């Protein structure tokens, strides 16, 4: 097979319609990133005066980390629109960062569900024993 006939995937440039869609996605992902980061900071600060400071600090830290992943994804998507020559690379970086953010969120929900089930079982056993 002739390698010269294969286009370089990294050199693909998106058109104005694709850039508009990617730019809108970057904007909304960016908004969500700041909401997550601000929520994390407020949760952490709230932990200073709550009955469960460790839990609040842990949740706050998680929100800030997830927000940072979303912030990075938004920046990479914005780079797709604002630069030339690396659209595919920027988009792949954005997708990788989004994947990481969602993976963290899914794992945390899974852990939360497992812990809730364990607490429910412990409570049920405790009530049955009394």
Complete DSSP assignment for 72-92: HHHHHHHHHHH-SS-HHHHHH
pLDDT at 89: 92
pLDDT of residue 8: 53
> Phi/psi of residue 6, each to 5°?
-85, 125
Per-residue pLDDT at 5 = 47
Mean pLDDT of each 10-residue bin along the chain, 130 residues long = 49 90 96 96 89 85 93 94 91 93 91 88 88
Q: Are 6 and 26 in contact (CB under 8 A)?
A: no
Q: Given this model, what pLDDT does residue 130 score?
A: 78
pLDDT of residue 1: 47
Residue 50, pLDDT score? 82
**CA-wise closest residue to 56 among 65, 47, 48:** 47
Which residues, 6 or more positions from 63, have their beta carbon under 8 angstroms from its beta carbon?
A: 36, 37, 39, 40, 43
Has this prediction a pTM greater than 0.85?
Answer: no
CB 56 within 8 A of CB 44: yes
List the structure tokens of 50. Answer: 């709550």
């Amino acid at each position: 097979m002739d390698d010269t006939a294969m286009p370089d995937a990294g050199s693909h440039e998106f058109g104005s319609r694709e850039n508009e869609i990617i730019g809108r996605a970057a904007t909304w992902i960016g908004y969500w990133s700041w909401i997550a980061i601000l929520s994390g900071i407020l949760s952490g600060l709230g932990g200073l005066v709550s009955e469960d400071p460790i839990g609040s600090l842990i949740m706050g830290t998680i929100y800030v980390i997830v927000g940072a992943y979303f912030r990075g994804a938004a920046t990479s998507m914005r780079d797709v629109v604002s630069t030339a020559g690396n659209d595919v690379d920027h988009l792949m970086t954005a997708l990788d960062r989004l994947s990481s953010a969602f993976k963290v969120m899914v794992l945390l929900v899974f852990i939360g569900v497992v812990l809730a089930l364990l607490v429910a079982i412990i409570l049920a056993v405790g009530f049955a024993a009394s």
